[in-house]
Structure 1
Amino acid sequence: MELILEQMPIVIHSLNIGFLQTLKLFFVTLIGAIPLGLVIAFGSMSRFTPLRWLSRLIVWVIRGTPLMIQLLIIYYFPGLVLKNNVWGSGETGRFIASAVSFIINYACYFSEIYRGGIQGVPKGQQEAGMVLGMTKSQIFFKVTLLQMIKRIVPPMSNEIITLVKDTSLARIIALQEIIWAGQAFLKGSQGISGAIWPLFFTAVYYLVFNGILTVLLGKLEQKLDYFR
């Protein structure tokens, strides 16, 4: 116990650095995936057949393969096959490759949620908007979009919570996120080796962050109850 107390400051400092990397990847993914998912959803619903089928093919491939495989391919393919390491070297390069992989992956999942939300709005309301003389863009932003948001909050919340835990997959390309930091003490980091207890602390970080997100997303869902 005394040894653990002595090692605690070193472990907590390392985990905090790893958790900041996890948070960074989480927020960058959301910022990129939320709008990109809407673009892919529009492509999946497009009346232009080639675009519609291309969008659906991309979604099918991304949703049908593991995120870990996508990380490995996106990170290693440019350097090993194209002989052009577009991501750069070091931690920055690994982070950029991870962010691109996560954004593409989650954008495809979000696109299906968007598509279901948009198509779930009764067509009668869109027709009513046309009768009132509203343009297509006005109908989308003032009628369809607002109701879609209410419908997609629960499934989007689940995906966002999943994203928090999925960030741990980035360690497969040696991105030093929080689990990488905790696992390093098993292998020998900063004079500490064979210590498994730091991994339990990483679980606490995830639990607290997911708890905060659950409360915030629950409050958002309550604020949208006026659509019921």
Structure 2
Amino acid sequence: MDLDYLIRIGKPMLEGAQTTILLFLIAIVLSIPLGFLCTLAVKSRVKPLSWLAGAYIYVMRGTPLLLQLLFICFGLPMLPVVGEYLVMDRFAAACLGFVLNYAAYFAEIFRGGLLAVDRGQQEAAQVLGLSRWKSMTLVIIPQMFRVALPAVANESVTLVKDTALLYAVAVPELLHFAQTAVNRDSSIAPLFLAGVIYLLMTAVLTLLFKWLERRFKFE
């Protein structure tokens, strides 16, 4: 395999990887807090809010991410009356789709984390005279995040790989440049190189979460 060829095709692929990383960062930064808010909404005593949040989670987890991306990118502009106001840049539309989808998954992860916290913790906080808000922020939520961290790490790695779906909505990212090189040069080398780049990204992310797990004494 010619090293000069790998360097030549690697430059545009690394530019595409920047788009991949940017999408990942936007999705992870926005979907985690949104997912936590959805968890709180599901557990809310306000039934309409709880039902609405539950329906949102069910729909987003029950339909393919690719379908959601296609609907946001191509379906929303076709809606009568309001469609013309819902036309978005493809990358922005993809970011919205990823944030909405992964927020639903993180909501379920955080719900599981809350269920894993012993009820005695909240009772002990009440005995100490802590308000419901302080009990949640100082006692329950920190333990919930510790329990949920391994699952958040796994979902984050999946997010990195799912960014390849940008290819389906014509956003030039890593896989787009790899496939372009394959079609142009009739070579599978770009696909191998794309695989290596994805592996490097997931390796860095895995190491980061392992450090966080050790930091919070999971090991």
Q: Distance in 1 between matches of 2:78 and 2:117?
A: 47
Q: Partner letter of residue 55 of structure 1?
A: A
The answer for the alignment partner of 1:205 in structure 2 is: 197
Correspondence for 1:13 among 11, 20, 33: 11
TM-score, with length taken from structure 1: 0.90
Number of residue pairs matched?
217
Q: Is the CA contact 1:87–1:96 (under 8 Å) kept in the aligned structure 2? A: no
TM-score, with length taken from structure 2: 0.94
Q: CA deviation at 1:10?
A: 2.4
Correspondence for 1:138 among 131, 134, 140: 134
The answer for the alignment partner of 2:23 in structure 1 is: 25
Q: Partner letter of residue 196 of structure 1?
A: I
The answer for the alignment partner of 1:84 in structure 2 is: 84
Q: Distance in 1 between matches of 2:3 and 2:154?
A: 36
Q: Is the CA contact 2:32–2:103 (under 8 Å) kept in the aligned structure 1? A: yes
Aligned-pair RMSD on alpha carbons?
1.6
Q: Is the CA contact 1:78–1:85 (under 8 Å) kept in the aligned structure 2? A: no
Q: CA deviation at 1:46?
A: 0.9
Q: Please list the CA deviations of residues 157-208 of structure 1 after superposition, one character each: whole Å capped at 9, or x if unmatched.
A: 11001001000011110111101110011233xxxx3222111000001111
Note closer, same or farther for the CA distance 1:124–1:6 as it changes in structure 2 (3 Å cut): closer
| Structure 2 residue 181 is matched with structure 1 residue 185 | yes
The answer for the alignment partner of 1:224 in structure 2 is: 216
Q: Distance in 1 between matches of 2:4 and 2:139?
A: 60
Q: Distance in 2 between matches of 1:5 and 1:213?
A: 27
| Structure 2 unmatched runs, 5+ | none
Correspondence for 1:172 among 156, 168, 172: 168
| Structure 2 residue 192 is matched with structure 1 residue 194 | no
Q: Distance in 2 between matches of 1:156 and 1:15?
A: 28
Q: Is the CA contact 2:182–2:191 (under 8 Å) kept in the aligned structure 1? A: no
Secondary structure at 1:142's aligned position in 2? helix
| Structure 1 unmatched runs, 5+ | none
Q: Please list the CA deviations of residues 141-168 of structure 1 after superposition, one character each: whole Å capped at 9, or x if unmatched.
A: 1110111111001111110010010000
| Structure 2 residue 120 is matched with structure 1 residue 124 | yes
Q: Is the CA contact 2:60–2:101 (under 8 Å) kept in the aligned structure 1? A: yes
Q: Is the CA contact 1:113–1:156 (under 8 Å) kept in the aligned structure 2? A: yes
Q: Partner letter of residue 51 of structure 2?
A: W
Correspondence for 2:98 among 95, 102, 112: 102
Q: CA deviation at 1:131?
A: 1.4
Q: CA deviation at 1:6?
A: 4.1
Secondary structure at 2:84's aligned position in 1? coil
Q: Distance in 1 between matches of 2:30 and 2:21?
A: 14
Q: Please list the CA deviations of residues 10-59 of structure 1 after superposition, one character each: whole Å capped at 9, or x if unmatched.
A: 20111111000000000000011011001111111111111111111111
Q: Distance in 1 between matches of 2:85 and 2:142?
A: 42
The answer for the alignment partner of 2:51 in structure 1 is: 53
